[in-house]
Structure 1
Amino acid sequence: MRSSQRFSRSVVSFLVASAFCVPVWAATPSGGQPGPRQVATTALSMHADVEGIHEYRLPNGLQVLLIPDDAKPTTTVNMTYRVGSRHESYGETGMAHLLEHMLFKGTPRHPQVWADFNKRGFSANGSTWYDRTNYFASFAANEENLRWYLAWQADAMVNSFIARKDLDSEMTVVRNEMEMGENSPDRILMDKTLAAMYQWHNYGKSTIGARADVEGVDISHLQAFYKRYYQPDNATLIVSGKFDEAKVLAWVQRYFGVLPKPKRALPPLYTLDPVQDGERSVTLRRVGGVPLLYAGYHVMPGAHRDFAAVELLSIILGDAPSGRLHKQLTEKQLAASVFAFAPGLADPGFLLMGAQLGSGQDAAAAKKAMLDAAESIARQPITAEELDRAKAKWLNAWEQGFSDPQHVGVALSEAVALGDWRLFFLTRDRVKAIALSDVQRVAEHVLLASNRTTGEYVPTAAPVRADAPARVNVSEALKDFQPQRAQSKVAAFDASPANIDASTERFKLSSGMQVALLSKPTRGEAVKGALTLHFGNVQSLANWGSVPGMMAALLDKGTPTLSRQQVQDKLDALQAEVAFSSGAGTLTAQFTTRRAHVNAVLELLADMLQQPAFPADALEEVRRQALAGLDEQRKEPEAVLAEAMSRHGNPYPKGDVRYAETFDESEADLKAVQLDRVRAYHQQFLGSEHGQLALVGDVDRASTQKVLEKRFGSWRSAAAYERVPSPFVSVPPAQIQLITPDKQNATLSVVQPLALNDQDPDYPALMLANHLLGSGGDSRLWNRIREKEGLSYNVFSAVQWNPHEAHSVWSAGAIFAPQNKDRVLAAFKEEVQRALEKGFTQAEFEAGRRGLLNFRRLGRAQDARLAAGWVNNLFLDRTYALSAQVDAALEKLTLQQVNDALRRYLKPDQFVMGVAGDFKASK
C-alpha cells in the first residue's frame, strides 16, 4: 500500500478518464441481466477500440478497459476509483488513503485477502494519489486466478468490512507509514512547498493526510466516504495481458453486473486557487540529510493542450546532462544533483524542480543559479536542439511503457483520474506535434517569479502574473483526436523452464564470453539484455577503494568519438536505456531496446565498455553526488544500522573487497579517487573472456552473433581471474542498539549466517520454510506484526542464497515507530519461537507452497529477469532445467521436511539483532 508521493517524472503520469462515448451495441446474456455494451468515439467512426484498447460500460456505470496481449504469459488487473485526496473535505484528510488500507481487511466472503493473494502468487498492492485510488495485481496468466480476483474486486467494491476493529489495528500501520515519510527530508520539503503553493485546493495537502484527521477519523464518516465513492459508476476496471476476452466479459457481467446503479449524485468539486500574486517561501529544519532547494510553479491541468509543453520543459530543465539545471548547477559545482518533474493532474497542477547540495556548497548561490536557469528562458529562448532532444527522450519512455502490458494496465489509472483514458494517446500526439514557439510561450507564462514558491520570500515591485487557472473541457479537447493504428497482436510464449531452455540458443565467442539468446515475440519488438564481466582475484582486487564504483558510474559519460551528451542522444535515438553497476570483481550492465536497434546498441555498449573517455569533470560530478548521498545516509536509521551489522564479525582486513567500510572510510575513499587510478583499473581488469551476456526478446541470432564476435570476440583482460570466495564465517551473536535523533521511524535488522548453499538437499525445504515464516503475504511475521498488531508498514524475512560455498545468509527486518520497539521485538521473537516449537500447519504448508510456486512462475515471465537469470545460469553452468527440478522438489515436500529444515538451520541464540531509531521516548 502506497500513498503515491512521487518525486520523479513519469511519462504516463498524466493519463485521464471520464467518458465522451456513445453506445454501439448491447447484448443480453442468459439470465436476463443487461450485458456490457461496447463503447466507441464518434472520431473513430463507431469503431470499438483505440490502438488495441477496447472499452465497455455496464448499465450500472462501470467502465471496463480490456487490453489483450499474449506477448508474455502474465495478466494485470487494475481497479481505479475516481477518488483521491482531492475529494476529501474538512477533517477528512487521509481518508482516501486510509480506505485503501481498509479494503485489504476483507469482506464476509473474502475475510483473508492477503492470504489469498499469497497462495495464488499475486504481486498485488494499492496506491492513493490526489485524483484516484487504485488496486492492482499481476500474476502468471491463469483463468481461475483472474476470475477469483475479479470476484474479489466486485465484492470489495460494496461489501468491505470497514470495521472499527480493523481501523484500530491498521491505525498503527498507517502511522508507521507516516513516520517513514517523516524520516525523508525531500518528501517533507515537498509537502511543505506544496502547502505553501496552494491556499485552498487539496493539492496542497499530503495524500497521506494530517495525523490528527487520520487518528481522529470517525468510523461512520469513513463508511459514508466508502459508500459514496466506491460504486460502479465511479470506477474503471482495466485488464491487460494474456486473457480470453469473451470469458472476462462474462465474468465482469457475472460479478459486477449485479451491482445496482447508485442513486446518489457525487458532489461537484469547484475549488480552485486564485492566480499566485507573489513569491512564497518555506523553510524546513530537521536533523540529518543534505541541503535541498525546491522551486515550484503553478501549471495547467494535465488534460490541457499546453501541458505537453510542461512535460517537455521538465526534461529541458531537469535532465542530465543536457538539462539547463544540470549545466548551471551540477557542472558548475553549485549542486550535487538536480531534478524537475510535473505530474499531470485533473485540476491545475505544478512543475517542481530542485537541487541537492553537497557538503560545503553555497545554498544562496545554488538557489540563484536554479531560479536564473528557470526564469531566464524569455532572455535565452529554448533551442530546436533542446526541444528535439526532450521529445526523443519523452517519446522513447512512452514507447517503452506502452510496450509493457503490465505497465499499461496500471498506467491507465492516471488517465482515468484526469478525465478520459484516451488522453494517454492524445498527449503523445501533442508532444509529437508541438512547436518550439508553443513551448517557449508556455515557459514564459509559467516560469515567473510571481508564480514561484521556494524556501525564501523576495518582494517584487511590479509582479507579472501567470494566466488564471481554468479547467479543461475534455470532450472538446478530444473532438479531433484520431488514434493511431493498434500494434499487431503478439503470439503467446510458454514461460515453462523446458520451453525457456528449448527457445534459447547458447554459444561462446572466441574470447570465451558465454552468450544466451532467447528469441521470443514481444510487444513493440522490445528486447531486454544483461551482461556481467568477471575479472581479477582477491589479491589483485585489493586496495582499490571506491575506484570500481566510480569507474562504473563513468562508463556512460562519453567515448573518444562521442561526448557524454552524444552518448545520451544516441541511446534516446536507439530507444535504449543502459545502466552499469559494479561488485567485487564484477561489472554488470542492464539494457533495453527494440529489435531494429539491438545490434547498434551492442556496438555502442562495446564502445562504452572498451573505450570510455573518463572525462575529469564527470569524475568530479560523480564524486560530489556520491559524497552528498553518503552525507544523507549518516543519520538515517536503516543506513546506520546496516553499517554496524555489516561490520560485526567481518573477518577481512581493510583493502579486501569483502571488507565492510565505515562512513568515514567510504568518504575518504571517495575523496581519494584519481582519474589515473580509474583508467588503470579499467585497463588492468576489464575484458570479456570470463563474461556472460543474455538477450531476451525479438532478436535475430545471425546478425547479433556477428556483432558480438566482432566487438567482444577478442577483448581480453590483462589480469588473471579467480572468483572471489565467500567461505562460511561464524559470526558471534549480538544485540545492537543505535540512537538516531529526530527520526520518527525506526528499523529492525536480524541476521544469521547459514552453512549451506542453493545446491544443498535442504534448499527447497528451507526456501519454503522462510516463505511461511516471513517472505510471503500470508507469513507468520506479516500476520502477527503487520496485520494483527499493526506495528509495522513492512516486515519480512529472506535468504540470500550462495550458489558456491556453503555460506548463505538468513535475514529479517521491520520498520516501526520508536515507541513500539519493545512490542515489535517481543512479537518477532515470539513468532520465530512459535514456528520452531510448534511448526507450521498443514493448511499453511499447502497454501504457502502454492503461492511460492506461483511467484516463481511469475518471475520466469519477466523478460528482464529472464535475461539476468540466463547470465547467472551461464556463469554457474546451469540451465532452467534446474528451476524445474526445484519446482518439482517443492511439489514433493512434506510438512515434516519443511518444519525440520527450519529447526535445523534457524537458531535464535545465534542471531545478530539490531535496532536503530530515536528511542528516548520509549525509555
Structure 2
Amino acid sequence: MQYKSHARPRPLPRRTLFLGLAASLLLAPALSSAAPREGMWRASKQERAGKLPANVEWVDSLGGIDQYRLKSNRMTILLKRNDAAPVITFEVVYHVGSRNEAPGNTGSAHLLEHLLFNKSTQNFGHALGHKTFQEVLFAAGCDYASTNMTTWYDRMNGYSTLPADKLELAMKIEADRLGRALILDKERQPEMTVVRNEYEIGENNPSVALYKAVVAAAIQAHPYHWDTIGYRSDIEGVSIETLKQHYKDFFWPDNAEAILVGDFDPVEALRLFDREFGSFPRSPKPIPAVITVEPPQEGERRVVVRRPGQVGLVQIGYMRPNSLDPDFIPLDVLSTILGSGINSRLYQALVEKGLATDANASNYTLRDPFPILFDATVTPGVSHQKVEDAMKAALYDVAKRGITAEELARAKNQLEVSVIRGRDGTYELAASLGEAVASANWKWFVRYVDAMKRVTKADVQRVAAAYLIPDHATVGWFIPARADEKKPQKSAGAGGSVESSASSGQSGASEPVHATFAQRTLRRVLGNGITLDVLANHAVPTVAVHGIVLAGRMHTPPGKPAVAQLTAMMLERGTTARDKRVIAARLDGVGAQIHVLSDVYGATIQANGLSRDAGLLLSILAEEMKTPAFADSELKKAKAEMKTDVLRASDDTRQRAFDRLTQAAFDAGHPYRAPSKEEMLRSLEAARPSDLRAFHKERYVGSSVYLAIVGDVDPESIAATVDSLLGGIPKGSPPAMDLPRTQSVKPVHETIALRGKANMDLMFGEASGLRRRDPDYEACLVANAALGQSSLSSRLGKRVRDTEGLTYSIYSRFTMTDFLDGVWLADIAVAPSNLGKAMKSAREVIEGYCKDGITEEEVAIQKGFFAGNYQVQLATNAGLAQALAVAEKFGYGPAYLDEFPDRVRRVTREQVNAAIRAHLDPAKL
C-alpha cells in the first residue's frame, strides 16, 4: 500500500501509468471491426439481457470494453477480456483521495487505505480470528508485484492480479474492503507509525521535497495543496473517529467502480460480482463534493528547499486545466515534445549543453487543475539560475515560434506506441483504465488516441502561449546544503539495502499456454556463440527484446570500476555511422526504445516497439552493439551524468548501507565488493575513450551474449535477421568465473551518519555462500520467503511492521546469487527513534527462525505462492523475454520456465531447514 510517489518524474510518467489500456483498443482493428474470437462476449443488447443476472444491467460498450451496473446500488463494472494467459486483474476504484480532505485530517485517505489493505474486516484479519488479506493472497500467489492498495489525489484503489481461477477470492477481498471494514483503534496505532515511517522515507528524497514545495506554492486554496501522504502532525494526530467518518462518507457502491481484465467468462464474472457486491446499499445521502476552486495566479512564485544533499534540482510548474478540458491532450503533446527523449527541447537545451544531467516533463491526469511540471538535475558546478534561464527559454520558444511538423509527428508516434505497449498485461490494462475512471471517465480514455491524432501544430503553439506564461510560473530550487559527513564509527548502527520490493504488477500478454515454453521457443546458438531464443505471441502487435552481456563492473580491469557503466551508456550515444540524434529520431519516429543498463554482473539490453518495426529495432541495436563511436564530446556528458548518479547514491541511506555490506562481506578485490564513492569518482575522472574501446572489444563478444525476443513475430525470420545483423560479432571468450567459495568474515556493526535524513535504513546481512546454480537454490527461496519475502505475511513483516508498527518497509532477500557466492540481507526502513526496538525485534525473529526452522504450514504456503506468482510474472512479452535470457545465462535453457514450478513443489521441509543451516547464521550478521 502506498501513496503515489513523485520522485524524479520520468518522461511520459502519466502515459506509462494511465494510457496503456483502453485508448489502445482503438488501434487494434481486431477489437472493433474484425470478427471476434470464439468465446468472446459479443451479443446484442437483447441477448445480453437474457443471460445477465437479474440484478445486473448492461450500460454501454466501446472499444472492446463493456460496462455493466448493479440495479440495486448503481455500482458499475468494466469488463475487458484478455484470454492470452490464465490470469485476471480485478480492481475497485474509490472516488476518494487527498482532494477530499482538509487541514487537520490531511493524509486520512491514505491512512484509511492502510487499514483497509491488511487490517481487520468481518471476514479477514486477526481481530475476529481470520487470516489477513495478505496471508490469503500470498498463499494464492500474490506479492507486492501483483496486489496492492494505493491512494492519490483523486482516488483510492485496491487490486489483485491472480491466476484466473482465483477471481472469486479477488472479489471477496474487495467487497470486504468496500463494506465490512472494522476500523479499530488498536490497529490504527501501529499502522500510524508505519505510515509515519513512509512519510519519513519520502522526506529523505530531495526530489520529493522539492515537488511538495512547488505544488504547495502553485496551489494555495485547493486540496491539491498538500501531498497525498499528508502532514506529519496530521498523520500522528488523526483520530479513529475521523477515519470511521471518512469511511462512512465515501465507501459506498455508488462511489466506486470495478474493473476486470483478463481470462474470465463474462456471465460467471457478473454473477460473482452481483453476489459479492449486490447486497450493499447505496449511499443514503450525497457524497461530499469538493467545491474549492483555485484562484488565478497573479505573478511568478518561487520556493527554495535547502537541506543536506549532493545534487541540485530545478523544477518549474504552470497551472493548466483538468483532464477533461479540450486543451489537456494538446498539452500532453506539448509535454512530450518538451521533455521526452534525446530530441526533446529540454534535453537539447540543457543536457546537450552540459547544464543538466537530465530533464523531463510531467503532465498528470487529474480531475481538477494542476501544474504541468518541468524539471532538471543541475550539473555539478553549474548555477541554478543558468539552468532556470535555459529551461524558460526553451519553454517560451514554443509559444513564440511554434513547433516543427517533424516534432509533432514524433510526439504523436511516441504517444500512440506507448498506448499500444500498455496493452501487454492485464494489470497494465486495469491500472490505466482505473486512473482514467478516477480523473476523467472511461470513454475519454478509449477515445484518447483519436483525439491526440487530431492535435495540430497550431494547437500546440496555442496551448503553450495560453499556459506557459511567465507570471503563472512557480519556480523551485533544491540547493544542497554542503556538510562534511561523519566517518563510519564502530557501534551498533543503521544500515540499508538495495533491492526494492516495490513494483508494479504485470500480467497477461503471452500466448494461451497449451504447448510448453520449451516447445514454443525457437532456440539457436549462432556461429559466434550468441545464444538466441525467439518466442511468438500474437496477442498484441508488439515485440520485446531482452539481452544480457557478461560485461559488468565485476569484469572490469582492476582500478577501473566506472568503465563498464560508461561503456554501456556510450552504446546509446552514437555509432561510427550516425550520431545519437539521428538514431533517436529513427526510434522516436516509430515509438521504439532501446536502453542499455549496467550493473555489477553485466550489461542489460531492453528494447521494445511495434512488431512491424522489429527489423528497424534490431538493425539499430546491432549497430549500437557493434560500432559505438565513443566520441569525446559524448563521453564528457556521460561522465557528468554518471557523476551525478554517484553523488546521489552517496546520499541515499539504503544504497550506502548495501555498499558497506558488500565491503564487509567480501575481501578487497572481490568482484562483488562495491567501490567507495572516492574510488568510483577517481575511475570516472580517469576514464578515456581508449579504455572503453578496449573493454568493449574484450567483453562485447558473441560468447558473452544471451538474447531473447518475444512478440508478434515469425521466429524463423527473426532468427535469420539476428544472425545477419549480429553474426559478425567476434566470438571471443566468456569471462572466467572460478573464484573459490566465500569464507566467513568477522561481523561488523557500523553507523554511517548522513545529515538531514528523517529515515534511516537498518540492514542485517552476511555472505550467504549461495550461487544461482546450487542444488538448494529453490529451497533457499522457500526459506527466505517465510522469513522475509513479504512485508506483511512473512515472520519479519508480521512482527516488526504489522504488530509493532516500527517500519513501512521490511523484507529479506538472497541477492547477488549469480555465478559467485552472494549475500543474504534483511532491510528495515526505520525512524532513528525506533532503531533499537526494530533491531531487537528483527534479531529475535531471525534467531528464532534459524533455531526452530520452518513449519510444514509455511512450506506449503510458500510453494503455493511461487506456483501462483509464476503464472503472473511470465505473462508479458517483456517478462518472458527476461526470463528466457536469464535461463540461458545460467545454462538452463527455455525448459527451465516449464520446470521451475515443479522444482519448487518438490522442495521438502527437511531441505528448507538444511538450507537455513547452510546459508543463514545469526552469529555472523
TM-score over 0.5 (shorter chain): yes
Asked if structure 2 preserves the Cα contact closer than 8 Å seen for 1:26 and 1:38, the reply is no
Asked if structure 1 preserves the Cα contact closer than 8 Å seen for 2:815 and 2:822, the reply is yes
Q: Give runs of aligned pairs for residues 473-552 of structure 1, distance below 5 A.
A: 492-494=511-513, 499-522=516-539, 524-534=540-550, 541-552=557-568
SS in 1 for 2:147: strand
Q: Residue in 2 aligned with 1:796?
A: 811
CA gap of 1:668–1:179, structure 2 versus 1, over 3 A, is same
Asked if structure 2 preserves the Cα contact closer than 8 Å seen for 1:765 and 1:890, the reply is yes
Q: Residue in 1 aligned with 2:107?
A: 94
SS in 2 for 1:317: helix
Asked if structure 2 preserves the Cα contact closer than 8 Å seen for 1:509 and 1:708, the reply is no
Task: Select between 876-885 and 833-842 the one with higher mean Cα deviation.
Answer: 876-885
Q: Which one-letter code corresponds to 1:2 in the other structure?
A: Q
CA distances 1:524-569 after superposition (whole Å, capped 9, x unpaired): 2222221223469989844443122112112122233433122122
CA gap of 1:575–1:538, structure 2 versus 1, over 3 A, is closer
Q: Give runs of aligned pairs for residues 110-259 of structure 1, distance below 5 A.
A: 110-111=124-125, 112-122=132-142, 123-139=146-162, 141-143=163-165, 145-259=166-280
Asked if structure 1 preserves the Cα contact closer than 8 Å seen for 2:18 and 2:433, the reply is no
2:14 to 10, 13, 29: 10
In the aligned structure 1, how far is the partner of 2:376 from the partner of 2:509?
A: 43
Task: Select between 560-569 and 664-673 the one with higher mean Cα deviation.
Answer: 560-569
CA gap of 1:28–1:576, structure 2 versus 1, over 3 A, is closer
Q: Which one-letter code corresponds to 2:302 in the other structure?
A: S
CA distances 1:200-222 after superposition (whole Å, capped 9, x unpaired): 00111110011122211121121
Residue 635 (1) aligns with residue 647 (2): no
Asked if structure 2 preserves the Cα contact closer than 8 Å seen for 1:71 and 1:521, the reply is no
In the aligned structure 1, how far is the partner of 2:815 from the partner of 2:384?
A: 42
TM superposition shift of 1:649: 4.5
Q: Residue in 2 aligned with 1:645?
A: 661
Coordinate RMSD, CA, aligned = 2.6
Q: Residue in 2 aligned with 1:736?
A: 750
Q: Which one-letter code corresponds to 2:4 in the other structure?
A: S
Q: Give runs of aligned pairs for residues 27-106 of structure 1, distance below 5 A.
A: 34-40=54-60, 49-59=61-71, 60-104=73-117, 105-106=119-120
TM superposition shift of 1:263: 1.6
CA distances 1:447-487 after superposition (whole Å, capped 9, x unpaired): 11111111489xxxxxxxxxxxxxxxxxxxxxxxxxxxxxx
Which runs of no fewer than 5 residues in structure 1 stay unpaired?
A: 18-22, 41-48, 458-488, 912-923
In the aligned structure 2, how far is the partner of 1:628 from the partner of 1:802?
A: 28
CA gap of 1:803–1:740, structure 2 versus 1, over 3 A, is closer
SS in 2 for 1:273: coil
In the aligned structure 2, how far is the partner of 1:425 from the partner of 1:910?
A: 56
In the aligned structure 1, how far is the partner of 2:723 from the partner of 2:392?
A: 50
CA gap of 1:874–1:765, structure 2 versus 1, over 3 A, is closer
Q: Residue in 2 aligned with 1:564?
A: 580
Q: Which one-letter code corresponds to 1:36 in the other structure?
A: V
Task: Select between 259-268 and 166-175 the one with higher mean Cα deviation.
Answer: 259-268
Task: State TM-score, norm by structure 1.
Answer: 0.88
SS in 2 for 1:121: coil
SS in 1 for 2:447: helix
Q: Residue in 2 aligned with 1:785?
A: 800
Q: Which one-letter code corresponds to 1:238 in the other structure?
A: I
TM superposition shift of 1:725: 3.7
CA gap of 1:544–1:78, structure 2 versus 1, over 3 A, is same
Q: Residue in 2 aligned with 1:289?
A: 310
TM superposition shift of 1:580: 0.7
SS in 2 for 1:336: strand
Q: Residue in 2 aligned with 1:44?
A: none
Identity %: 30
Task: Select between 216-225 and 525-534 the one with higher mean Cα deviation.
Answer: 525-534
Q: Which one-letter code corresponds to 1:824 in the other structure?
A: A
TM superposition shift of 1:856: 2.7
2:619 to 603, 606, 616: 603
Q: Give runs of aligned pairs for residues 445-460 of structure 1, distance below 5 A.
A: 445-455=466-476
Q: Residue in 2 aligned with 1:829?
A: 843
Asked if structure 1 preserves the Cα contact closer than 8 Å seen for 2:221 and 2:293, the reply is yes
Q: Give runs of aligned pairs for residues 319-718 of structure 1, distance below 5 A.
A: 319-455=340-476, 492-494=511-513, 499-522=516-539, 524-534=540-550, 541-583=557-599, 586-653=602-669, 657-716=671-730
TM superposition shift of 1:758: 4.1
CA distances 1:636-683 after superposition (whole Å, capped 9, x unpaired): 222322232222243243xx7555311011111112222233233323
CA gap of 1:662–1:313, structure 2 versus 1, over 3 A, is same
2:767 to 753, 765, 780: 753
CA distances 1:212-268 after superposition (whole Å, capped 9, x unpaired): 222111211211111211111011111112222221111001111111122211122
In the aligned structure 1, how far is the partner of 2:730 from the partner of 2:601?
A: 15
CA distances 1:321-374 after superposition (whole Å, capped 9, x unpaired): 222222222222222221111101111121111111132111121111112222
Task: Select between 754-763 and 263-272 the one with higher mean Cα deviation.
Answer: 754-763
SS in 1 for 2:442: coil
2:282 to 261, 265, 283: 261
TM superposition shift of 1:891: 2.6
In the aligned structure 1, how far is the partner of 2:552 from the partner of 2:861?
A: 45
Asked if structure 1 preserves the Cα contact closer than 8 Å seen for 2:760 and 2:831, the reply is yes
CA distances 1:477-509 after superposition (whole Å, capped 9, x unpaired): xxxxxxxxxxxx9995218xx711111121222
Asked if structure 2 preserves the Cα contact closer than 8 Å seen for 1:14 and 1:343, the reply is no
In the aligned structure 1, how far is the partner of 2:920 from the partner of 2:693?
A: 45
TM superposition shift of 1:589: 0.9
In the aligned structure 2, how far is the partner of 1:441 from the partner of 1:677?
A: 49
In the aligned structure 1, how far is the partner of 2:459 from the partner of 2:75?
A: 38
CA distances 1:792-839 after superposition (whole Å, capped 9, x unpaired): 11111111364645x242211110111100011011011112222333
Asked if structure 2 preserves the Cα contact closer than 8 Å seen for 1:574 and 1:601, the reply is no
Asked if structure 1 preserves the Cα contact closer than 8 Å seen for 2:343 and 2:581, the reply is yes
